[in-house]
Each structure stands twice: as C-alpha cells, then as structure tokens.
A and B are shown apart, each in its own frame.
Chain A
C-alpha cells in the first residue's frame, strides 16, 4: 500500500493524521485529521500561525514523534516502521536554530557532513549557491551570524547529505524581509534538483512562493491546493478602501450594513461584502455621510491572507 505512493513520485504522504500530546491532558489535539502529499521537485508550504500544529507534523515526518492516528510515509516508507531508512534520506531543519553556536561556519558544515556520512566536496555543487553567501564568514562562529545567515547555514547543513526530502520548520521566522526573499530564491532552485521540500511559515505573503500550500490553524488543515486555487475559492466580493484617515475608517466600514468583515491590509483596508448582491455604490454615499471625502474604493483580488482569515472565521 505504501509503495504505490512512490510510483507516481510522491515523496511525502500524510493520511488522516492526528496527534494529541497525552501529557498535556487538557490540551486540544495538536493535529487533527490532516492529509497532504508532496511530490518530488515540489515546494509545499504549510502556512499558519504558531500553534497550528506545523512543528508536530514535521516531527512526525522526521520520525521524531509517533503519529497518534492515521498514517504518514516519507520516500514511500512508513514513519513508524521504517524510521531508520527515512532518517538517512531526509534533511531536517528544526524550528529553533539547531547549529552549534560555538563552532565556526566551516566546522558546523564539516561536522554535519561527517555525521551524515557525506563530504562537503562531493555535495558542494548542491550547496554552492547558498554557501557562497557564507564563504566570507566561514571562520566566524555560527552564534555570531545574523538570523538570515544562520538559517542559510542550517539549510546547508540539512542539505549536505543530498537528501531526497527536505523538511524545513519555519526557516524564515524572525528573519528580515531581504534575507527571506533570498532564502525562498534558494528553495526555488533546490526544488529543480528534484528534492521534495516541505516548508512551514507564519508569513502569509510567502505562500505565493510555494507550488502548493496547506493553510493550517489549531491543528487542522483549512484548505490545500495551489495558492491560485485557494484564492479562487474565496467567494465574497472584496474591495480595497483607503482614505487619509485610515483608523477611524476601519470602524465605520465594519459598521456599514453591507460589510461582512473588514481588515487592515497595509496601506488600505480589505472589505468583504456580505454577498454579491450588495450594492457597492451605496458605500460611497455612506462614507461621504461619515465625512470621508477622499475615500478610494476599488475591487481587489483576494490573497492567501484574505482566504486564511475568511476560513478561520468559520
């Protein structure tokens, strides 16, 4: 049964997976009935805030935790019975910075290479693209690197044994936007090498960098699919509204009769209408009455973040 998954190039399968930490007692399940599949060469994103169950899922796939219910395979191998083989073929980067702060960049890399029975030389091609950023600092202690650099080094270390599957738990959290963009560029090039990449992030704007995503919240999958498909599933008419007085505008938009929900979105507010029959023209009148003479109302395409909030509302 588990072999079939491997036939069509599926590297990770998760079927109806649930997990409850028994010691927590009162706690809700960390994972509830999650299913997904990641193919070779695919960049799959788990998008969700802290507490969504992303780390639990990663630990189960990295064979560090046993699943509660349901099943999961990595490289076609069951995570419960074939964990030893999975470990040899997986690159795992845990959420916390997992390198040795008191070892230099080069020492860290060499250490993880030996531990995984690989050498920097034979796999240098794979990491070269990333390592060039680190090369100028190769004698610096890892603890003295910036957040973005640390994550690049951790990625190198996870890649050094040329894994088939890469599990990256929140690699961009706390990393500045520039380094984040660079990091995602690197992942984009890695997947072209045929590596299946499962990556989690709390930043919704990073969803567009993934081939497919799963929106997660409180241990549940809210939606799975390509970012475009998920955005298409957004049913309500969505408008962007802005004026010179943004904060009071938010309150007034929410109390407008036709409003379903309204959230601040950078320089404008995103206003979701109750249904497509709602008359948007009456909004202009309403806002004029409230004293907004410069209000600019435009239809807007929903993004992943809109979808997440809409799904989370239910």
Chain B
C-alpha cells in the first residue's frame, strides 16, 4: 500500500517551474529522505503534499486523499514538524501536548494517557511544567516530533528537524524516527546532514525542480560510484543550473 503517490506533480509560479513533474511513491512505514539543494523545490513539493498549496498540474494522493479536493482530510492524517516552528516556546511542556493533542481531536482521557507515555518515553517526566523555551534545543526537537505524531498519523513530514542539534541528541532523534516507522508511521524527512540520508530506507534527490535520483542508499552509492551519500549528493546537485533562486 502506498501512502504517498504522485504523478507528474507540478507547481509553477508565473513563468517559473518550482516543481517539475515529479512522480514517486512512498510505502507505508517507510522512512523517505527528501533531499535537494537550497532552491531545488523541496519546500514547495512538501507544501503541496501537506495540502497547503494547490498543485498547478499532475496528480497526488496523500494517505489516500487527493491533494486537490481533500486537503482538509489530508491535514487530519498527517503530522508536521519543522526546524523553524515546532512548539509554542512560552507554553509549558504539558500545555503544548494538550494543545496539539486537542487540535487533532484527542479526548481528555486519551490525552492524559498519551502525555504520560510520551514524557516517560522521552525521559522528560520531571519537565512536565517546564516552559518549552527552557529546554535544550535537542530535547525540544524530540518533544516536537513526539507531539507531531501524537495522533498516530499515517505520515509525518519533517522539515530539517535536526538542524543545529548536537550529535548525540541528533542520533536519539533518529531512534525516535525508527520507532515511529516500526509502528507503521511513514516518515517523510528533509535534511542537510548527509549521514542522516544513510538512515533512510529510500532517498530522493531533487535538482532544479525534478527528482534526479530515487533509490535505496546502497543502490544510489553503487550507481554513482560513491563511497557515501554526501558524494552522491555532490555529484547530482552540482548539475543544478538555476543556482541563485
């Protein structure tokens, strides 16, 4: 079963084609790495898949819902977390959990249970009443991820979730991703850390609005005769022509 299916999905802004006929499928429970240079069109593609922006042409379904007509349904079945905004910094930890759980329609009883589980799993039991901005960045990002999947969505979209996070916490973050994936949640993730690309089940690399490569990391390394994903990325992204967009 495919959780995301796109067919020649395209987005144009005036004469500029930000996303150019991308077609791919993501399986349920898969960790799908979505890579690309700045300006390659990742953010635009992700916004379309989240139901935030209507495509210009092409087809796409997310969690079985059409991105043109069922964007409200899509929003109910996905989770989203980005580096820029994840949680309300001035609210306490439990208040954030209650807020986002409430937004996704969890009952007070579910919410209470989830809150305990979540804090326990993150070893944050003692931080229930701490304002989020008092937490170190890494903890905050781990908490934000757990909150983003509090409603057990079909897919969670992560936009550079580990930027600036210290190496240890970054790895703990990926362990959370693996756990979510093992529970059947599909993880759609962008990152600038190339070692993290290796942790993905499959990786797509966007160049100038098109998907230039899409495969398992070992297969990509073989195709491009590269020792690691960084080399794969470098050899592909250097082909980009649209540069300073």
Contact = CB atoms under 8 A, between A and B. Distances in A.
Do A and B interact with each other, yes or no? yes
Interface hub of A49, A134, A181, A263 (most chain B Cβ within 10 A): A49
A312 B168 contact: yes
Contacts, number: 114
Given A147-B38, A266-B194, A174 B160 contact: yes
A145 B244 CA distance: 5
Interface stretch (B3-11, B70-78, B96-104, B171-179): B171-179
A179 B38 contact: yes
A50 B244 contact: no
Contacts of B192: 174-177, 180, 203
Contacts of B228: 266-267
Interface in A192-238: 202-205, 217
26 contacts: A48-B166, A49-B164, A49-B169, A136-B243, A144-B245, A145-B244, A145-B245, A173-B163, A174-B38, A174-B192, A176-B37, A176-B38, A176-B40, A176-B192, A177-B37, A177-B194, A177-B230, A204-B167, A205-B194, A205-B195, A250-B175, A266-B228, A267-B217, A267-B228, A305-B167, A308-B167
B2 interface: no
Given A176-B237, A250-B175, A309-B168, 17 more contacts: A50-B166, A134-B244, A137-B243, A174-B83, A175-B192, A176-B38, A177-B233, A179-B38, A181-B234, A264-B199, A266-B199, A266-B228, A308-B166, A308-B167, A309-B167, A312-B168, A313-B168
Contact of A50 (B37, B39, B165, B238): B165
Nearest to B140: A50
A302 to B, nearest CB: 13
Contact of B244 (A137, A204, A267): A137
